[in-house]
């Protein structure tokens, strides 16, 4: 019995589809509903109706009907008729004998009429064919990129049931893409790249498929590359871009032959070879800092400090290597590329030094001194003064243009000033030590003021003042220029009286705060005069004062002011540069004192009590910090901060630095940038930093 299962949106539709497939009418089948259709909102879960149609043994029914209709017909005749009809097997394939079937199977499948192909589909010469049997309908699966039309209507399902009576059309799309290409020149005009994507044509054909009950349509793709790029195209485009230099002919030809998207460098310029900066080659060891080493107990052996390297007259301290200029390059458009300029090193000659043929030579014996700030290096030879015994009323204050070593104490109200380092073997009590270099004291520091790297401190101070001054000065220049080009402004008095009347007008209101800034700068420079070895600070102070404070009658041009502004800018930048090597302070203990240093400060023993410390470098207190305020520009490390009696103790660092405290007691405050944190109970192993929200956090 032949039966099929059929689907539809409604039961009615499902039955009709089934009947169509079976090519029978409704009353020739038995209908069994397998699934009712169901709908829900938005068709999200709608189910198809499914029915099973079973073909009824129609003939007997027909006979019966005919019997009923023609009662008068002889039943024997009817049977005879029926028997006569038996050999007519064509109309009733079910009655084929096994023998016949075998015969048919031996036939070639290419014969679509062949009986063995019933219920199969196949593809021959690009045509989809099928033969249905009443019991089997072939299934065909459609691959991606292929459209199959049944009676000019596209089939949406992936797999469909094929019938003989419908007309099927298969649409195979072919693709075609044109060659695309472009030239890309880098901003430096050093390389031209050719990006090419060759065009192609893809043709698809349907492959032959053996007959089967279920076939997949198989598509064959043929891709044909069509690279239409010509050598002339590229050359013309290169000419448009102005490329004149450094072609790679071979690469262009390769590009015209390319079969895949690819990038060719078809022209290259010549890169400039950067110059080599000038540099200083030191011939002696100038680092005394390394001589002060901690032993295993973490204590510093101060006696080691005496082993400062000394130079004799005539020793070559360093060799100045001039910069080696670079070589210019060439762009693909044939323009020269200037090389990076090689920087010069400027040597400043201090005391006891001379330069002969790029060689820096000591002309005095003493400790060689070398300092680097930006591209300026300073050399000098520091003579040394050794003061035996104490510095007191009988010895008087000591001022020396070099290193000073004191074997005794520095007593009450005495002063020691040195352009080099100061070393004191015993204690410093109610005294003041000021050095441009380092300060090392082996004894206790009590109620004293110690300054190391004084020159650097002063330079930083005056340098900072220059920033707002120059900002205003630049604006003044701008306004002057703007005025001079204004239609209502007559500039002829400027050549007679100079800029002073105009400056006076500007200072009247617009820059009324400017003179105060200059006054402060002039004052600060004067105060630090002894430590500002470079005369340029005093010169700029004098120029600014003449121009904006005394308003002298001297004729001054705008160019002169611009020149001054440039000088201020350079000085400010110079003052912001790190100094190498920087100075430092190393002491065992400090009590009620003040320590200023442009570099590191190290307190190596019991610690610091009620002392103010400002370190331009790192601050390291090996012992306790009880009371006072300490600051470390490059971070602070304290073993124990605060005290049982909750003495106020403040440790501060800039916002980008960390504070390390092993034990912080109640009363200790830390400040990072502008954020402050107060400890209200003892806390251990602290590493504090400023987090993204500008709040103090602990690691």
Residues that bind another protein (CB under 8 A): 479, 482-483, 486-494, 496-497, 499, 501-502, 504-506, 508-510
Long-range Cβ pairs for the range 31-37 (8 Å, 24+)? 34/5, 36/11, 37/8, 37/9, 37/10, 37/11
User: Least CB distance from residue 508 to another protein, whole Å?
Assistant: 5
Distance CA 351, CA 360 (A): 12
Pick the closer one to another protein by CB: 187 or 487: 487
Distance CA 216, CA 142 (A): 6
User: Least CB distance from residue 550 to another protein, whole Å?
Assistant: 17
Pick the closer one to another protein by CB: 338 or 488: 488
Q: Which two tokens stand for residue 46?
A: 């709608």
Distance CA 610, CA 623 (A): 14
User: Least CB distance from residue 519 to another protein, whole Å?
Assistant: 21
Tell me the sheet residues that pair with 133: none
Q: Where are the beta strands (DSSP E) in 509-626?
A: 579-580, 584-591, 594-597, 600-609, 612-615, 619-626
Pick the closer one to another protein by CB: 38 or 478: 478
User: Least CB distance from residue 495 to another protein, whole Å?
Assistant: 10
Distance CA 356, CA 289 (A): 29
Pick the closer one to another protein by CB: 69 or 492: 492
487 contact partners, CB below 8 Å, separation of at least 6:
none
Distance CA 274, CA 323 (A): 11
316-321 β-sheet, strand order: 279-282, 316-321, 359-362, 353-356
Long-range Cβ pairs for the range 616-620 (8 Å, 24+)? 616/453, 616/456, 616/457, 616/460, 616/582, 617/582, 617/584
Pick the closer one to another protein by CB: 483 or 574: 483
Which of 323, 339, 343, 186 minimizes the C-alpha distance to 271? 339
Task: Give the C-alpha distances (Å, rounded to integers) separating 354 from 319, 328, 361, 364.
Answer: 12, 35, 5, 10
Pick the closer one to another protein by CB: 90 or 490: 490
Which of 426, 676, 460, 466 minimizes the C-alpha distance to 564? 466
Distance CA 234, CA 256 (A): 9
Give me the DSSP letters along 242-301.
Answer: T--S-B-HHHHHHHHT--S-EEEEEEE-BPPBPPBPPEEEE-S----GGG--B-TTS-B-
Report, in angstroms and rounded to the nearest whole number, the Rg of the chain calculated over CA atoms: 51
Q: Which two tokens stand for residue 479?
A: 């306004």
CB atoms within 10 A of CB 292: 17
User: Least CB distance from residue 558 to another protein, whole Å?
Assistant: 12
User: Least CB distance from residue 542 to another protein, whole Å?
Assistant: 24
User: Least CB distance from residue 659 to another protein, whole Å?
Assistant: 47
Pick the closer one to another protein by CB: 340 or 504: 504
User: Least CB distance from residue 551 to another protein, whole Å?
Assistant: 11
User: Least CB distance from residue 497 to another protein, whole Å?
Assistant: 6
User: Least CB distance from residue 505 to another protein, whole Å?
Assistant: 5
Pick the closer one to another protein by CB: 325 or 515: 515
Pick the closer one to another protein by CB: 343 or 549: 549
Pick the closer one to another protein by CB: 156 or 485: 485
Instruction: Note whether 573 and 374 are within 8 A (CB).
Output: yes
Pick the closer one to another protein by CB: 496 or 684: 496
User: Least CB distance from residue 480 to another protein, whole Å?
Assistant: 9
User: Least CB distance from residue 498 to another protein, whole Å?
Assistant: 10
Distance CA 347, CA 320 (A): 8
User: Least CB distance from residue 552 to another protein, whole Å?
Assistant: 16
User: Least CB distance from residue 501 to another protein, whole Å?
Assistant: 4
CA angle 591, 592, 598 (to 5 degrees): 85
Pick the closer one to another protein by CB: 319 or 483: 483
Longest dimension (CA), the chain: 167
Q: How many CA atoms lie within 13 A of 342 on its CB side?
A: 16
Distance CA 195, CA 199 (A): 13
Pick the closer one to another protein by CB: 500 or 593: 500
CB burial readout 460-482, b (16+ within 10 A) else e: bbbbebbeebbebbeebbeebee
Q: Where are the beta strands (DSSP E) in 151-218?
A: 153-154, 159-161, 168-172, 175-177, 180-185, 191-197, 199-206, 209-212, 214-216
- Collapsed DSSP state (helix, strand, coil) of residue 443: coil
Pick the closer one to another protein by CB: 180 or 552: 552
User: Least CB distance from residue 479 to another protein, whole Å?
Assistant: 6
Pick the closer one to another protein by CB: 34 or 479: 479
Pick the closer one to another protein by CB: 31 or 474: 474
Please identify which residue in the block is written with the tokens 């050549």: 495
User: Least CB distance from residue 638 to another protein, whole Å?
Assistant: 52
Pick the closer one to another protein by CB: 465 or 473: 473
Per the omega criterion (within 30 degrees of 0), is the bond before 319 cis? no
Q: Is 233 exposed, middle or buried (0-12, 13-18, 19+ CB in 10 A)?
A: middle
User: Least CB distance from residue 411 to another protein, whole Å?
Assistant: 59
Q: Please tell me what DSSP assigns to residue 584.
A: E
Distance CA 537, CA 621 (A): 35
Q: Kindly report the three-state secondary structure assignment for every residue of 387-405.
A: ECCCECCCCCCEEECCEEE
């Amino acid at each position: 019995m032949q039966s099929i299962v059929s689907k539809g949106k409604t039961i009615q539709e499902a039955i009709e589809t089934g009947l169509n497939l079976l090519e029978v009418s409704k009353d020739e089948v038995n209908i069994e509903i397998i699934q009712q259709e169901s709908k829900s909102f938005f068709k999200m879960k709608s189910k198809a109706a499914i029915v099973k149609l079973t073909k009824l043994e129609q003939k007997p029914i027909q006979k019966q009907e005919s019997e009923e209709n023609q009662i008068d017909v002889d039943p024997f005749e009817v049977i005879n008729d029926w028997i006569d009809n038996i050999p007519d097997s064509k109309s009733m394939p079910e009655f084929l004998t096994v023998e016949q079937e075998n015969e048919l199977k031996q036939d070639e499948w290419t014969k679509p009429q062949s009986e063995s192909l019933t219920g199969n589909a196949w593809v021959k010469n690009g045509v989809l064919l099928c033969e249905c049997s009443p019991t089997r309908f072939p299934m065909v699966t459609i691959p991606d990129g292929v459209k199959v039309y049944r009676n000019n209507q596209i089939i949406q399902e992936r797999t469909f049931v094929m019938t003989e009576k419908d007309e099927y059309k298969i649409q195979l799309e072919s693709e075609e893409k044109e060659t695309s290409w472009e030239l890309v020149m880098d901003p430096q005009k050093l390389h031209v790249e050719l990006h090419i994507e060759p065009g192609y044509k893809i043709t698809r054909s349907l492959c032959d498929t053996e007959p089967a009950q279920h076939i997949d349509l198989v598509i064959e793709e043929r891709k044909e590359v069509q690279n239409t790029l010509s050598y002339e195209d590229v050359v013309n485009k290169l000419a448009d871009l102005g490329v004149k230099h450094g072609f790679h002919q071979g690469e262009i030809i390769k590009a015209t032959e390319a079969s895949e998207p690819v990038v060719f460098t078809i022209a290259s310029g010549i890169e400039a070879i950067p110059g080599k900066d000038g540099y200083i080659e030191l011939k002696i060891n100038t680092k005394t800092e390394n001589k002060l080493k901690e032993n295993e107990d973490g204590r510093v052996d101060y006696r080691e400090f005496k082993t400062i390297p000394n130079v004799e007259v005539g020793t070559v301290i360093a060799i100045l290597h001039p910069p080696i200029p670079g070589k210019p390059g060439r762009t693909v458009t044939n323009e020269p590329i200037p090389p990076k300029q090689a920087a010069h090193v400027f040597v400043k000659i201090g005391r006891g030094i001379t330069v002969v043929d790029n060689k820096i030579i000591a002309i005095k014996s003493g400790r060689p001194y070398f300092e680097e700030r930006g591209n300026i290096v300073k050399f000098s030879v520091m003579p040394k003064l050794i003061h035996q015994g104490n510095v007191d009323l009988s010895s008087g204050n000591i001022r020396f243009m070099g290193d000073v070593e004191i074997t005794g104490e520095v007593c009450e109200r005495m002063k020691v000033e040195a352009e080099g380092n100061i070393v004191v073997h015993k204690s410093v009590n109610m005294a003041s030590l000021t050095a441009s270099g380092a300060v090392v004291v082996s004894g206790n520091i009590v109620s004293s003021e110690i300054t190391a790297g004084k020159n650097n401190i002063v330079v930083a101070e005056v340098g900072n003042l220059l920033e707002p001054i120059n900002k205003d000065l630049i604006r003044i220049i701008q306004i002057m220029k703007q005025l001079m080009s204004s239609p209502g402004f007559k500039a002829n008095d400027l050549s007679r009286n100079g800029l002073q009347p105009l400056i006076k007008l500007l200072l009247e209101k617009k820059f009324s705060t400017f003179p105060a800034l200059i006054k402060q700068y002039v004052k600060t420079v004067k105060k630090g005069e002894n430590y500002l070895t470079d005369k340029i600070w005093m010169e700029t102070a004098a120029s600014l004062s003449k121009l904006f404070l005394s308003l002298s009658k001297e004729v001054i041009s705008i160019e002169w002011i611009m020149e001054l502004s440039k000088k201020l800018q350079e000085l400010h930048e110079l003052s912001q540069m790190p100094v190498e090597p920087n100075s430092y302070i190393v002491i065992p203990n400090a009590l009620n004192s003040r320590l200023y240093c442009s570099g590191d400060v190290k307190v190596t023993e019991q610690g610091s009590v009620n002392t103010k410390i400002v370190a331009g470098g790192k601050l390291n207190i090996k012992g306790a910090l009880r009371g006072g305020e300490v600051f470390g520009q490059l971070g602070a490390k304290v073993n124990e901060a605060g005290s049982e009696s909750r003495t106020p103790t403040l440790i501060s660092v800039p916002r980008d630095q960390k504070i390390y405290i092993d034990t912080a007691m109640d009363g200790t405050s830390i400040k990072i940038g502008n954020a402050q944190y107060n400890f209200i109970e003892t806390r251990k192993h602290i590493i504090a930093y400023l987090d993204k929200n500008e709040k103090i956090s602990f690691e």
